[in-house]
Amino acid sequence: MLPRLRCLAVLLALSTAAAASAQDTVRVPAPPPAESLQVQVPDVSLVDQHGRTVRLWSDLVRGQVVAINFVFTRCKTICAPMTATLARVRKELGPNAPVRFISITLDVAHDTPGKLARFAEPFSPGPRWSFLTGEPEQVKQALVALGGYTPDKEAHRPLVLVGNATAGRWLRVDGLGSASSILDALREVRAASAPPPELEDATAARDASAARYFTNTELIDQHGKPHRFYEDLIRGRKVLINFAFTSCKGVCSPMTKHLAEVQRKLGARVGQDITMITLSVDPANDTPESLARFARKFSTGPGWYFLTGARENVALVLKKLGGYTEDPAAHSSVLLIGDAATGTWVKAPAMSAADNLVYAVEHLDDPR
């Protein structure tokens, strides 16, 4: 008798469901809304899938709209589907979209750059998608700061962190939801830094004028990495620029030591919204390697770029900045302090009291 009752119950349930479906539209629950949060991205040194060392904040996130997820190559559950969703987002945006994608491993002990490259290959990541590993403590610091850390990688949540590092707008999205939900979050954070309509034309005009003046001439830093002078190093930041050369027997070493004290006083802002630049006046002899040795003598930190390059490139930029000289020993010891966002620039002796230089940077845009 009991089996018959069970069959009857099942039939009644099915007939009830069928009746309901005939009368009502089935409603699929909406995905959870994007969660807004505060994020402080650390400038840790990591390694991408090509074996290149990159700094998380200054090389990948600063000034960018980003989508970040957390994966590992031996994952048998959510990692591949979540990464495939991000790949659909990237395809939908198009190859030239101003969005950077970042995937950080949860399995540092196993995930080498080569393994991350093989994991990434089926998703056709392109040049604006970095798969990152590195030293365990550096990776953990990044994961903790971004909300991706878990002691058990097998239990990690399918989160995508979407952010606008310029506006400080961050959202956390379900990485197993639809690509459209991630696209909506990207549009929302991008809109956070859009200027009011009445300022948009003026802002664009000022930026275009600054780009023409400073130029995007390619220079090379002390790590051998090329940079476009305006777009990569100046745009949207406060900047300190001085002139030196590594074989200098005069002011260069004392000046660099003094500016290292300024960097320490400015703290973590250098490498975030403040950039320091030392431009060689002797590019014929100053190689990236010699500049790196020079910088190490003074314990300079991230966010300070010692630049050289092709003679004609360096000469062009030096002339724009008023630092060009035929005789390196006769170079200027002036420090240029500017805010590229507002177009405010001042000069100061580079050996001015460190506290005075810090004050000048921090109060550059104060009303006069």
Residues 6+ apart with CB under 8 A from 84: 123
Alpha-carbon distances, residue 255 vs 168, 285, 293, 310 (angstroms): 34, 20, 16, 25
Rounded Cα–Cα distance for residues 194 and 65 (Å): 12
The reply, when asked if residue 79 is annotated as ligand binding, is: no
Length of the chain: 368
Question: If we measure between CA atoms, which residue out of 127, 131, 126, 125 comes closest to residue 111?
Answer: 131
Neighbours of 319 (CB within 10 A): 10
Q: Which of 55, 111, 50 is nearest to 79 (CA)?
A: 111
Give one word for 3, left, alpha or beta, with left for phi > 0 and alpha for psi -120 to 50.
Answer: alpha
> Pick from 232, 302, 305, 307: which is nearest to 267 by CA?
302
Q: Is 252 annotated as a binding residue?
A: yes
* Rounded Cα distance, 67 and 163, in Å: 7
- Sorted by sequence, the CB contacts under 8 Å of residue 124 that are 6+ apart come out as 87
Q: Tally helices (H) and strands (E) across the chain.
A: 11, 15
How many Cβ atoms are within 10 Å of 108's Cβ, its own excluded? 21
User: 3-state SS of 257-301?
Assistant: HHHHHHHHHHHHHECCCEEEEEEECCCCCCCHHHHHHHHHHCCCC
Alpha-carbon dihedral of residues 27, 32, 33, 34, nearest 10 degrees? -150
- The Cα–Cα gap between 13 and 19 comes to 10
Instruction: Give the residue numbers of the binding site for Cu cation.
Output: 248, 252
Instruction: Give the residue numbers of the binding site.
Output: 248, 252
